[in-house]
Structure 1
Amino acid sequence: MRATGTLEDYNLWQSLKEGNQEALATIYFTHFKNLYEYGLRIVQDKELVKDAIQDLFIKLWTNRTGFEDISKIRPYLLIALRSGLYNKLQQKEKRPVRPLGAGEEFDMVFSAESIYIDKESFSQQTQQLVHALNQLTAKQKEVVYLRYFEELDYEEIAKVMGSSLKSVYKLKARGLDALKQLLNISNTSLVMLFAACRAELFS
């Protein structure tokens, strides 16, 4: 399911607000895979990520009546997960930690810890793309990941990362320029490669 707003998303959210447990389950099973993979890019601790996702959905249910109407569920969940991971890191470290997005690593290696991914099954092209992505800065990697793997628009990415729209555009442009040089391919070929890699990741 794409991150673009749909009537289906809106109706599902309304159903959740009205107390429909099936709506909560649908949201969970639709988005868990994306949330888990995104969480592992931020914190390479699978149990911490799973706990954060569980807490997120508990809060969705317990606080459902107070939510505003939304038409795009995934961006909302990604923002909430990012915040939840920050809070859990605070608790784990028992001290203030840098806010997510303040230069921390964003891991584009598809972790062997992931229950979904066998990296050996990736195509050679996908492995080359991942290798190139890992040569970008942390923020460039995250912008690229959110744009081409989570399929968020630029305003949504800015909200998720807590960055300005101008900064997101610059990070994306610089990231793509670097990737095109590293892979020696055109912009069109790069976008097609992103699509193929995303299909392998989330199929």
Structure 2
Amino acid sequence: MDQSKSHEESLWQTFKQGDKAAFGQLYELHYRPLYNYGYKLLPDAAQVEDAIQDLFIQLWRTRQGLSEVVHVKFYLFRALRRDIARLSSRNRHFQDINPEYVPADDPGLYFFEQEEQEKLLTLKLMRMLSQLPERQLEVVTLRFFENFKTEEIAAIMGISEKSVRNTLYKALTHLREHTRDLAPFMELLFLLSMIGELG
């Protein structure tokens, strides 16, 4: 078993027993990934922060009745998506991603050598991502930014695995056609998606 996942499971078990320190560690460990994902669904910092806080408050209140969790990150992402969907439905559907938002943990940063070039290329990629349809953007985010597998993405979004694969393919095809200067990076994404299907 992956060591980090084993550590998360251990924290989860300790948290369920009422350990506030373990609860705090879970919050610190997952807050930033949850915020980055939530902000893509709903680009309103205050509402995303509130949704995350409400999620963890609810977890603490219901900790004794929570089920066993094998993949804590998966559990939290699915719960946050459900909460944000409920919150967004009061206003309207999920809003578009903020085109100026560039997550600090963007994996594209690691594929280029010079810092200034990295920033420019990454910003261009994020702007292209912002133009994707809502569902395509979410699938790309979960697959490449959060490293979820196809079956996990399907469960988080409540769609079939076939729909996930088709949506991912459409998104990557669109990005590859409209980001010629990012061709090496896009080819790598295609390769990673194929490896993910085989793994």
TMscore range, shorter length: 0.7 to 0.9
CA contact (8 A) 1:180 1:186 kept: no
Work out the CA distance in 2 between the residues paired with 1:108 and 1:155.
Answer: 28
Stretches of structure 1 lacking an aligned partner (at least 5 in a row):
99-103, 195-203
Q: 1:33 — aligned with what? A: 32
The Cα offsets for residues 20-78 of structure 1, whole Å up to 9 and x where unpaired, read as 11111111001111111211111122111111111101111111111111121111111
Q: 2:44 aligned with 1:45, yes or no? A: yes
- Percent identity over the alignment? 32
Q: TM-score, normalised by structure 1?
A: 0.76
Aligned length: 178
* Pairing partner for 1:109 from 78, 86, 99: 99
* Residues 89, 134 of structure 1: alpha-carbon distance in 2 compared, 3 angstrom cutoff: closer
| RMSD value, Cα | 3.0
* Aligned counterparts of 2:76 and 2:18: Cα–Cα separation in 1: 18
| 1:129-187 Cα distance to aligned partner (Å, 9 max, x none) | 11221232211111001100111111111111111111001001111122122223147
- 1:17–1:137 Cα change, 3 Å: same
1:183 matched to 2:179? The reply is yes
CA contact (8 A) 1:5 1:72 kept: no
From 161, 184, 189, give the equivalent of 1:165. Answer: 161
Query: Following the alignment from structure 2 to structure 1, what is the Cα–Cα distance between the partners of residues 137 and 152?
Result: 16
- Structure 1 consecutive aligned stretches of length 4 or more whose deviation exceeds 6 Å: none
Show the 5 A alignment for 1:58-69: 58-69=57-68
What code does the residue aligned with 2:122 have?
T
Q: Give the Cα separation in 1 of the matches to 2:130 and 2:68.
A: 37
Within the alignment, does 1:140 sit opposite 2:136 as a pair?
yes
